[in-house]
Amino acid sequence: MLPLTRQVAALIPRAAAARPRRVAVVGAGILGLCTAWALARRGHAVTVLEAGAVPDPSAASCDEGRIIRHAYGTMEGYAAMMPAAFAAWRALFAETGADRLVPCRAVYALRAETPWEAAVARTQRAAGLGFCRLDDAALDSVPVLNREGLLRAIEVDGSGMLLARLILDDLAALLPQLGAIVRPGTAVAAVSAGGVRLRDGGSVAADAVVVAAGAWAPRLLPEAAAAAGLRVSLQTLAYLAPPEDLAAAWSAAPMLLCRLPNHATGGVYVLPPRAGMRLKIGDYATDAAGAPGAAPDIARHAALLDAGRRAIARFDRHRVLAIRHCLYTMAPEDRFVLQALPGETWLASACSGHGFKLAPLVALGLAAALESRIGAAELGFWAAGREGEASPAPVGAGS
């Protein structure tokens, strides 16, 4: 492990903090709940404030399944964090009593030359994980992949799917057992030194406040969000039912990660049906602006389904069960933002799908900073995946 990751990973074994503090966590998505877990298990007095339900079915975190993997493209700093991220997930599952990670093969379908392949070959080798090009015979065992226009396909080890909604349910049940207070239906009006002011006129006193409110964070901390370059992006997802004659193929299928050059969606990622999850596709587009409460962009539906046709064989024989939109906060170069603000306030913003993959580890990083085990500048540098990177990675390289 690299030095900063080692400092954060030192908090994975459960132990009591030397100086417990009162912390208000604003937002009960995956990062907010994991932050509450990381702090409460160390004896801090944590209150989680969430405007909606906990979990909130409409929130981006509340989904059936999310991808986790060691392969991180040219974001080699994030790849170096993944062994510790998996260890943090194992610690969380040990405390909830339920392992919610479903191992699954991952195949990247490449249709253009990119720096991705060489970078992932390096990071997989460094982690002792497999990386191989699939020949025609191996591709024959993945009949659900549309091979039209395929340049090559790469299989990477160390991948799986996180049962997202069940994880949120488990965290919501665990936190009160750790002494944390979870307050659904509690909207925050403002954050200031010494705590938060609620929309109903009440307040919550705290020594420190962590704003992990996702797409709502720019409304609570507009100046800090703007300075960090945060923006709200809309992603489109679809859930599908395969035809009966492809059910067996899908039951053995890998996750598919299919970039589509020059396509409006940027491509699609595909989660096969496992452990009660439906077959899911999602787009890679991050340029569509979104806003809490705004009407979804219906035109995105057709673009996503067209991308699905290009990625999945015999796509039109699949039945669309549902289409939904998620709001993500996006940052420059698709990186986490963990930033200390005046008055013991922290802006904690996951970026795109990084939120689920790294949430427990990043939450432990926040705990380390709140306990002065790691400096604020070091934490921000580490959470942005900069440790171990020789130079900045291009936007979207983490797919």
Q: What is the pLDDT of residue 393?
A: 43
pLDDT score recorded for residue 398: 45
Spans of the chain, pLDDT less than 50: 391-399
What is the per-residue burial (b if ≥16 Cβ within 10 Å, else e) of 129-164? bebeebeeeebeebebbbeeeeeebbbbbbbbbbbb
Which residues fall within 8 angstroms of residue 262, CB to CB, at 6 or more apart?
Answer: none
- CA distances to 101, 121, 163, 217, 285 from 116, rounded to whole Å, are 25, 9, 27, 31, 18
* pLDDT computed for residue 353 by the predictor: 62
Q: How far apart are CA 171 and CA 188, in angstroms?
A: 21
Give the pLDDT score at 118: 95
Question: Cis ω on the peptide bond leading into residue 55 (within 30° of 0)?
Answer: yes
Rg value, the chain, Cα: 20
Q: For 319-358, what is each residue's pLDDT tens digit?
A: 999 999 888 888 888 888 999 999 999 999 976 567 899 9
- 31: helix, coil or strand? helix
Q: Give all domains of the chain, ordered by start, each with its CATH number.
A: 3-72+164-228+333-383 (3.50.50.60), 104-157+231-330 (3.30.9.10)
How far from 157 is each of 5, 56, 79, 134, CA to CA, in Å? 22, 32, 13, 13
Task: Provide the pLDDT for residue 113.
Answer: 93
CA distances from residue 353 to 4, 50, 135, 222, 326 in whole angstroms, order as listed: 22, 21, 29, 22, 11
- Dihedral sign of CA atoms 339, 340, 343, 349 in order: positive
Cα 251 to Cα 270: distance, rounded to the nearest angstrom: 13
- Asked whether the beta carbons of 386 and 365 are under 8 A apart, the reply is no
Is the separation of the CB atoms in 278 and 64 below 8 Å?
A: yes
